[in-house]
Amino acid sequence: GGSGGMAVWTRACKTGLLELLLRERWVRVSAELTGETLSLTAEPGTGDPSVVNGVVNGNAEAAAPGGVRRVRVVKAEAGGLGISIKGGRENRMPVLISRIFPGLAAERSGALRLGDAILAVNGVDLRDATHDQAVQALKRAGREVILEVKFMREVTPYIKKPSLVSDLPWEGAAPQSPSLSGSEDSGSPQHQGPRDRKVIPLKMCFAARNLSMPDLENRLIELHSPDSRNTLVLRCRDTATAHAWFSALHANITALLPQVLAELNATLGSGSPTAGGREVKYIAWLAEQARLDGGRQQWRPVLMAVTEKDLLLYDGMPWTRDAWASPCHSYPLVATRLVHSGSGRRSPALGSELTFATRTGSRQGVEMHVFRVETHRDLSAWTRVLVQGCHAAAELIKEVTVGCTLGGQEVQLSIHYEGGFTISRDEPGASVLFRYPYERLKVSADDGIRT
């Protein structure tokens, strides 16, 4: 069987220092990956604002009298300066940088940090400015911004230190089986001891790259929760490290899938003879192409399940019978086919995307979906599951009959798995007009017109 080989995959174990995006800040964490969990522990000194982006700016202060630094920041075409400010004259505080947003100009400069007081913008003095005056000065600054800043160690308590336990929401993990309910709480992460630590169960998480956050340096990893409501972004020191961590995470999640399938089928009772072709054959996360207004395209996480008869799409993992019974979309396999599978070009720097597409015939016409997977192994697994699934569904159902018109008269077209095509009049005791085996079919086409 297709999924049998997956169960014997070796589970990767890894440890290392990574950065985690927490409240728009990168914090250093010690990461530990096991077969079932990813544990993240805050590194001591994480909250020290003098370390941002892994760049220590401490020595820059010595260059100018009184610790004042001149910093030049050039904004990108899209996105502004990428900072939030607090304070101002009415608060009896200097104008302080309170947030630095990842991926935008200020962060990329590597020269600004949380707790910097902004003394001037392009020569405009902000030492005595109100909050609004400071905001306006920053907005009017144009593409190239020269900031005079000074780090104010005494105000750093006003800038709350991020915490893994309180600032990293993570829900939607698997409900524990009854035998385990006496131990830890549910599948939500456990917090052990005084250290700031988060333990994330990997079962039915979605590890992805370049999905919800641009990854221009090709060193980010995204982990989406099983209910798809929470996302965790990790940054590695370089591309090779990111690839190694991603591969290990992805392999461990994939190795848990056979166990998920067994549990899901037990919950649904779908292995029983009365289940009527509802046994779940395959389930995994991938990304679906969504078209936004103005023709822009975006990928969004979607969970796809394949049973003996249907292809089902969900927003989050359906752990219960009720959740399983309400997919976002349900398509009969017998009316579905795989139309494309392979590499599509993305930007040259990032190589190519691995995609496949499905087309399903319905009363409303043909519906097409484009999906993206993360690895070649995923692509071949989905290709096999869908091609075999469509064939098996046709074998199971044996025959499909649809009403249509031929030469102005109402007829029934029957397509039999082995017997070929039969066209008969649409009336009681209908007489057969034509019967052809498949080998007589020379060409088939769709005029694309929905009727």
18 versus 340: the higher-pLDDT residue is: 18
d(CA 239, CA 220): 8
pLDDT value of position 136? 92
Q: Are 147 and 70 in contact (CB under 8 A)?
A: yes
Sign of the CA dihedral with 164 first, then 168, 169, and 173 last: negative
pLDDT at 179 over 70: no
pLDDT digits (tens, 9 = 90+) for 44-99: 754 444 333 333 333 333 345 578 999 999 988 777 899 999 889 988 889 999 88
pLDDT value of position 160? 63
3-state secondary structure of 97: strand
Residue 229's alpha-carbon distances to 145, 221, 286, in angstroms, are: 37, 17, 15
List alpha helices for 93-214, DSSP H: 105-109, 131-139, 164-167
DSSP 211-247: SSS--TTS-EEEEE-TTSS-EEEEE-SSHHHHHHHHH
Residue 259's alpha-carbon distances to 175, 201, 323, 377, in angstroms, are: 14, 14, 19, 19
Alpha-carbon Rg for the chain, nearest whole angstrom, is 29
Q: What's the token pair of residue 47?
A: 């909250």
pLDDT digits (tens, 9 = 90+) for 314-362: 999 999 999 999 999 999 999 999 988 787 655 433 456 899 999 998 8
User: What predicted TM-score, i.e. pTM, was given to this entire model?
Assistant: 0.68
Q: How many other CB atoms are found less than 10 A from the CB of residue 146? A: 13
Average pLDDT over residues 226-250: 95
pLDDT value of position 408? 86
Domains in the chain (CATH in brackets) are 4-46+171-255 (2.30.29.30), 51-158 (2.30.42.10), 275-397 (2.30.29.30), 399-440 (no CATH)
| Residues in Cβ contact with 380 at an 8 Å cutoff, skipping those fewer than 6 apart | none
What helix, strand, coil percent values describe the chain, rounded to 5?
25, 40, 35
Which residue in this structure is represented by tokens 């040259």?
348
